[in-house]
Chain A
Amino acid sequence: MMKQLTVVCEDRPNLIAELIEAVASSGANLETLDSQSIAGTVVAILTVDRYDVALQALARAGLPAVSEEAILVNLEDRPGALAAIAHRFREAGIPLRSVRILRRAEGLGLVALSTPRTAEALALVSDVLIA
């Protein structure tokens, strides 16, 4: 069964090639790869057949990945932006398990949200959702 991984890191030359090579060297099959650059940060979404070995290979290659349970949103880098997102969850009665800033650059912040009610949360943040 295919599983999704998302790599978030600073954009640099040959990054996608490094990423493909890392997964290939792990023995996992890379089914799909979709990447976008946001304010100097690359967000690459992969689907692989062997989740754990791919995750380990990416980590060894210095390509930090977040799991498919994490919801990635793109926020303005200004005081209170995070609080506004927290407020939405509060109003909707959806508990937030964790909020983690992955990267901040060029006025934008990439934030990983985790909640036990992922499907509802995705709808709640659809306007700022990445991919």
Chain B
Amino acid sequence: MMVSDARQPVLAQSVRERLDSLERRLETETGHFLGYPCTAEFDYSPLYRFLRFPINNVGDPFVPSNYHINTHDFEREVLAEFMRLTAAPAGQAWGYVTNGGTEGNMYGIFLGRELYPDGVVYYSEETHYSVSKILRALHVRSIMIKSRPDGRIDLEDLAATIGIHRDVPPIIVANIGTTMKGAIDDLTGIRTILRELAIPRHYIHADAALHGMILPFVNDPQPWNFDAGIDSIAISGHKFIGSPMPCGVVVARKGNVDRIARHIEYVGTLDTTLSGSRNALSPLFLWYALHAVGLDTFRLRAERCLETADYAIERLEPLGVHPWRHRNSPIVVFDRPDDPSLTSRWQLAVNGPITHLITMPHVTRERIDALAEDLAASLAVDVEEARS
């Protein structure tokens, strides 16, 4: 690469071609993006001008830092919105914008572990694989609980297992929408178990990566937020809202967070976050989305996603692949196709005998039709005949 000055490098042809090739590949792949919970529907071009600053949100967004090139003020506004959406107790919640759901889950489990160092983490077998990694990284004792066939945690198994260790505080990771089936763990049932076993010392972290931006906008949400007794929640920003970079939000009860604060002198800030240097663009992108798109539009998008999910079930049903979904989830589960090229082409995640598609905002009925036709061809089913 030849460089004329710091801002406008003159690129060698091979470099330009490489970048052009990447752009073409990303455009093509985005057109067949059905199996993963990330929307491709966003436009952040008005924010491109901020890419020229060395911005960094190091430290606690609520505490002034000596590193002033940050977006802490925007981050706090984003958090205030998420606190409202998750029914966090007013003035008693804290949070920060994370690098994604995994960091949010790690923070929640970390808080639980700090509060109850002798605690045991309980989580279901349908829990995202990153939780196993987190448990290993934090060296926390853990017991995996069976899931029911529909993907929700098996409450009978949970009660029996917690009952063995009644004197040990349970730290429960509840799925608010499992990755594969979109199942929402029964928080009411979990709290009933804790009450009936007379276990007052407990912690509940909610992994609401995708569904945390859908359930605030539906009329009949399953219990999922602080009103349902959770202590912390992780929500992804790049999934339903959409972002070119992974990001997320974690919100927790402030009283718990204050216990783990550590003072770091050299940046003059409280080290309450897991990361030191933190992305300052992602809070800005989320803030922009919340203002430019707006909550009313997100509500409409959530409704449209669920309608598209119903349409997908309607289209796949005649093909004999047994499609179904949970209430308030855009994840449509169906039988895994035998043809691996089909799952690869449509980027469908597979797990044993099942696969799923996720009707994110960018997924149109036309794309569902195209998938149904592909699937019908691989199954040698006549689409029109199947529909009629």
Residues on A facing B (Cβ under 8 Å): 10, 77, 79-80, 82-83, 86-87, 90, 95-101, 104, 109
Say yes or no: B164 contacts A86, CB within 8 Å: yes
Residue on B with the closest CB to A112? Answer: B144
Residue on A with the closest CB to B136? Answer: A98
Q: Contacts A86-B165, A90-B165, A109-B146; is A79 near B141 (CB within 8 Å)?
A: no
Q: Contacts A10-B352, A79-B156, A79-B157; is A98 near B163 (CB within 8 Å)?
A: no
25 A-B residue contacts at CB 8 Å?
Answer: A77-B146, A79-B146, A79-B154, A79-B156, A79-B157, A82-B143, A82-B145, A82-B146, A82-B161, A83-B157, A83-B163, A87-B164, A90-B165, A95-B141, A97-B141, A97-B142, A98-B135, A98-B141, A98-B142, A98-B143, A99-B143, A100-B142, A104-B125, A104-B146, A109-B146
A101 to B129, CA, bound (A): 12
Asked if B30 is at the interface of the complex by the 8 Å CB criterion, the answer is no
Say yes or no: B135 contacts A101, CB within 8 Å: no
Q: Which of B138-182 contact A (CB under 8 A)?
A: 141-146, 154, 156-157, 160-161, 163-165
**Chain B at the A interface: mostly helix, strand, loop or mixed?**
mixed
> Least Cβ distance of A33 to chain B in Å?
25
Residues of B within 8 A of A77 (CB): 146
Say yes or no: A96 contacts B164, CB within 8 Å: no
Asked if B21 is at the interface of the complex by the 8 Å CB criterion, the answer is no
A86 to B170, CA, bound (A): 14
Asked if B277 is at the interface of the complex by the 8 Å CB criterion, the answer is no
Residues of A within 8 A of B135 (CB): 98
A80 to B352, CA, bound (A): 25
A30 to B27, CA, bound (A): 44
Say yes or no: A96 contacts B154, CB within 8 Å: no
> Least Cβ distance of A40 to chain B in Å?
11
Say yes or no: A86 contacts B161, CB within 8 Å: yes
Residues of B within 8 A of A109 (CB): 146
The interface on chain B, measured as residues whose beta carbon lies within 8 A of the other chain's beta carbons, has a size of: 18
A82 to B142, CA, bound (A): 13
Residue on A with the closest CB to B139? Answer: A97
Say yes or no: B141 contacts A82, CB within 8 Å: no
Say yes or no: B143 contacts A86, CB within 8 Å: yes
Residue on A with the closest CB to B120? Answer: A96
Residues of A within 8 A of B161 (CB): 82-83, 86
Asked if B132 is at the interface of the complex by the 8 Å CB criterion, the answer is yes
A104 to B149, CA, bound (A): 11
Q: Which of B99-135 contact A (CB under 8 A)?
A: 125, 132, 135
The 7 A-B pairs at the shortest CB distance, nearest first, are namely A83-B160, A79-B156, A80-B160, A99-B143, A83-B161, A101-B125, A86-B164
Residues of A within 8 A of B165 (CB): 86, 90
Say yes or no: B154 contacts A83, CB within 8 Å: no
- List 6 other contacts, CB 8 Å, given A100-B132, A100-B144: A79-B146, A79-B156, A80-B156, A83-B163, A100-B142, A101-B144
> Least Cβ distance of A97 to chain B in Å?
6
Q: Contacts A79-B160, A86-B161, A90-B164; is A96 near B141 (CB within 8 Å)?
A: yes
Q: Contacts A10-B352, A79-B156, A80-B157; is A99 near B142 (CB within 8 Å)?
A: yes
Q: Contacts A98-B143, A101-B144; is A82 near B157 (CB within 8 Å)?
A: yes
> Least Cβ distance of A95 to chain B in Å?
7
Residues of B within 8 A of A87 (CB): 164
Residue on B with the closest CB to A89? Answer: B164
A96 to B142, CA, bound (A): 8
Residues of B within 8 A of A101 (CB): 125, 144, 146
Give 1 or 0 for each of B50-94: 1 = CB within 8 Å of chain A CB: 000000000000000000000000000000000000000000000
Residues of A within 8 A of B163 (CB): 83
A80 to B164, CA, bound (A): 10
Residues of B within 8 A of A82 (CB): 143, 145-146, 157, 160-161
